[in-house]
Amino acid sequence: MKLYVLVLSVALSLFSCEGKEKIASPDEVLAKTLEKLNTWETLSFTSTTSNTSKPTTQTVYKLKKVGYEPHLKLFFFKEMNQDISIFYKLASLAVVEDKKNKITIFDYAKDRSIPRYLEAYMGDDDNLLVTTKLMNQFKEDMVYVEQTDFNDRTAYIYSFDKYKIWLDTKLEIPLKLEIANDGSGKKEIVYDALVFNEVMDDDTFTHKEKEGYVSSVFGIKKEPMLNIKAPAWTLLDLDGKKVSLKDFQGSPIFLEAWTSSCSHCMASLPKVKEIENEFGTKIKVITVNFDYNLEETRQAVKTGKINYMVLQGDAIFDQHYDLRSFPSYFVINSAGTIVYSDRGTIEGKKAKLLFEALKRVE
């Protein structure tokens, strides 16, 4: 009887051991994860970033290694918060902004800044390429911390420099990256939907034209918006009422394009108020906001105590007035001709020249 119980106990023990999958050691998981991150041909994933001081963001990446690409050695697609999509393949870079109904195509042949744009688009903390670079850089300094559960997966946690990373013990892929930010809490990036070496054709990295979207080419130097007829526009005010340039026919106009998130725009706010106070009886002050968020614009108007006209900008105005940065501003005479234009904070020499133009305009 005792022999029977012993045999049964051993059998059950063996069966139990067979049912448990052996977990690789922390060193093995780290080595295999790095091997995957260093040797893929195509890679797709989603990154969700949370930060104590900023809204949560989600970014989708699709990457394909291409040896003959001169800058990054890859093609890429990047979609941010289901709103802004960036497409890049050899000699073709485009940004599609759904909220703005706008497509910006970069002039690859003439714009020498293209490599800088590409590096910026691929340089965010939520990009696994950046994480891989960090892991390779600190490979010898990475310290195993503990085993834990994360999103129903078993993970090993490692620490290095100001980072902690969670690696899936079974799939041997990154699950989460934590970055300690001095004085501003921490940033957490969660990786999901990782797929290595799926087939990706080049159409993945090519933007498609969209009906109703305005396309513009960035990088082509145009003549200044000066001594030409001001392009016509019809926009909505903050109450949804249509307002057109032709409504102010026969009156000089100061026209400014701005956003509430632009520090140069907000720094210019006192000067625009000064323009309204000094020239308001002679010149119509109209500003066009490009937040593409009505509540944010209304809040900015309330906080800034803005007492002049604020309209909601659109991609057509953006294109026709060649808005390359904010604030951009124009002085239009009573005949509808642009007699002065400039960009940047309204201060110093810029403010002096602008006020001189406003005094002269009729």
> What is the per-residue pLDDT across 168-218, written as a single tens digit (0 to 9) for each?
999 999 999 999 987 667 899 999 999 999 999 999 999 999 999 999 887
Alpha-carbon span 129 to 55, nearest angstrom: 23
Residue in 200, 231, 262, 207 with CA at minimum distance from that of residue 97? 207
- What pLDDT is recorded for position 114? 86
Average pLDDT, the chain: 91
Q: Minimum mean pLDDT among 1-5, 36-40, 64-68, 74-78: which range?
A: 1-5
- CA 321/CA 318 separation, integer angstroms: 6
DSSP string, 253-286: EEEEEE-TT-HHHHHHHHHHHHHHHHHTTTSEEE
Look up residue 220 and give its two tokens: 């082509």
Q: Beta-carbon neighbour count of residue 307 at 10 Å?
A: 12
**pLDDT classification of 3: cutoffs 50, 70, 90:** very low
Phi then psi for 217, rounded to 5 degrees?
-105, 125
φ/ψ (deg, to 5) at 273: -60, -40
Please, what is the Cα angle at 113 between 107 and 119, to 5 degrees?
A: 110
Closest CA to 60 of 197, 194, 242, 223: 194
Name the least confident of 12-16, 196-200, 269-273: 12-16
72 pLDDT tier (thresholds 50, 70, 90)? very high
| Residues forming beta bridges with residue 310, ordered by sequence position | 287
Alpha helices for 107-220 (secondary structure H): 114-121, 128-137
Cis peptide before 252 (omega within 30 of 0): no
What amino acid is encoded at 338 in this protein? I
Binning pLDDT at 50, 70 and 90, where does residue 219 land? low
Q: Which residues partner with 177 through β-bridges?
A: 165, 189
List 217's β-bridge partners, or say none.
Answer: 105
Rounded mean pLDDT of 121-146?
97
Q: Taking the model in full, what pTM does it have?
A: 0.80
* Cβ contacts of 99 within 8 Å, gap of 6 or more: 83, 84, 292
